[in-house]
Amino acid sequence: MKGTISYTSDVLLIEGGKRLRGSVRVSGSKNASLPILFATLLTKEPCTIYNVPDLLDTKTAFELLEHLGASTFYRASEAEVDPSGVHVYEAPHEVVRRMRASVLVMGPLLARFGRAVVSMPGGCSIGVRSIDQHLKVFERAGASISLKHGYVDMSIRRIRPVEYTFEVITVTGTENALMFLSGCEGRSILRNIALEPEVMDLVEVLKKMGAHIEIEDRTAIIRGSKDLKGFVHEVIPDRIEAGTLAVAGFITGGDVVLEGLRVEHMGSVLEKLRDAGAVVDVLDLSRIRVRSSNSIRPLSIATAEYPGFPTDMQAQFMTACCLAEGVSEITENIFENRFQHVAELQRMGADIHVRGRTAFVRGVERLYGAEVYSTDLRASASLVLAGLVAEGQTLVRDIFHLDRGYERLEEKLKKLGALIERAPLKKS
Ligand code: EPZ
**What pLDDT was estimated at residue 427?**
62
- Among 132, 167, 172, 313, the mutation site with the greatest number of ligand 1 atoms within 8 A of its Cβ is 172
C-alpha 169 to ligand 1 mean position (Å): 9
Distance 313 CA to ligand 1 centre (A): 14
**Domains in the chain, ordered, with CATH?**
11-27+237-423 (3.65.10.10), 30-234 (3.65.10.10)
Cβ(402)–Cβ(381) below 8 Å? yes
Mean pLDDT of 319-347: 97
Residues 6+ positions from 306 with CB-CB distance below 8 Å: 194, 195, 196, 197
> CA 359 to CA 320: how far, in whole Å?
13
Nearest CA residue ID for atom 21, ligand 1: 312
pLDDT at 417: 98
Of all protein residues, the one whose alpha carbon is nearest to atom 16 of ligand 1 is 170
Nearest to 413 by CA among 300, 284, 289, 254: 254
pLDDT average, residue stretch 111-138: 89
Closest C-alpha residue for ligand 1 atom 14:
31
CB 356 within 8 A of CB 331: no
Other Cβ atoms less than 10 A from the Cβ of 89: the count is 22
Phi, psi of 90 (to 5 degrees): -120, 130
Q: Which of 160, 119, 120 is nearest to 142 (CA)?
A: 160
**Cα 178 versus chain centre, distance:** 18
- Confidence grade of residue 428 (pLDDT, cut at 50, 70, 90): low
Taking the CA of residue 305 as reference, the ligand 1 atom at the shortest distance is 12
Per-residue model confidence (pLDDT) at position 293: 86
The 10s digit of each residue's pLDDT in 209-267 is 999 999 999 999 999 999 999 999 999 999 999 999 999 999 999 999 999 999 999 99
* Contact predicate 138/106, CB 8 Å: yes
Cα distances (angstroms) measured from residue 286 to each of 36, 125, 196, 266, 283: 22, 33, 18, 11, 8
Q: Which residues line ligand 1 (CB under 6 A)?
A: 30-31, 34, 101, 127-134, 168, 170-173, 194, 198, 311-312, 334-335, 377-378, 405
Task: Tell me whether strands 219-224 and 212-216 are parallel, antiparallel or unpaired.
Answer: antiparallel
Q: Spot the catalytic one: 124, 184, 321, 322.
A: 124
**Nearest alpha carbon, ligand 1 atom 44:** 170
64 C-alpha vs ligand 1 centroid, how far in Å? 20
pLDDT score recorded for residue 426: 67
Q: Are 269 and 243 in contact (CB under 8 A)?
A: yes
Residue 384 CA, chain-centre distance (Å), reads 17
Residue 124 annotated in active site: yes
Residue of 164, 171, 311 to mutate, ligand 1, most atoms within 8 A of C-beta:
171
Nearest CA residue ID for atom 34, ligand 1: 335
pLDDT score for 210: 98
Whole-Å CA distances, 426 to 303, 328, 396, 422: 38, 38, 14, 12
Cα of 129 from ligand 1 centre, angstroms: 7
Best CA proximity match to 352, nearest among 333, 365, 339: 339
Strand partners, 48: 80, 232
What pTM does this model have? 0.96
Ligand 1 atom at shortest distance from the alpha carbon of 131: 40
Least confident of 94-108, 111-125, 374-388: 111-125
Is the pLDDT score of 192 beyond 50? yes
Looking at the chain, the whole-number percentage of residues with pLDDT higher than 90 is 92
Q: What is the pLDDT of residue 3?
A: 41
* Structure confidence at residue 1 as a pLDDT band (50, 70, 90): very low
The DSSP 8-state label assigned to residue 236 in this structure reads P
CB atoms within 10 A of CB 131: 18
Q: How far apart are CA 141 and CA 392, in angstroms?
A: 58
264, 285 contact by CB (below 8 A): yes
Residue 310 to residue 266: CA distance in whole angstroms: 9
Give the chain's mean pLDDT.
95
Query: What pLDDT is attached to residue 162?
Result: 97
Residue nearest to atom 6 of ligand 1 (CA): 312
Question: Could you tell me which of 147, 150, 214 has the C-alpha nearest to residue 178?
Answer: 214
- The pick from 34, 120, 126, 129 for probing ligand 1's pocket by mutation, whose C-beta has the most ligand atoms within 8 angstroms, reads 129
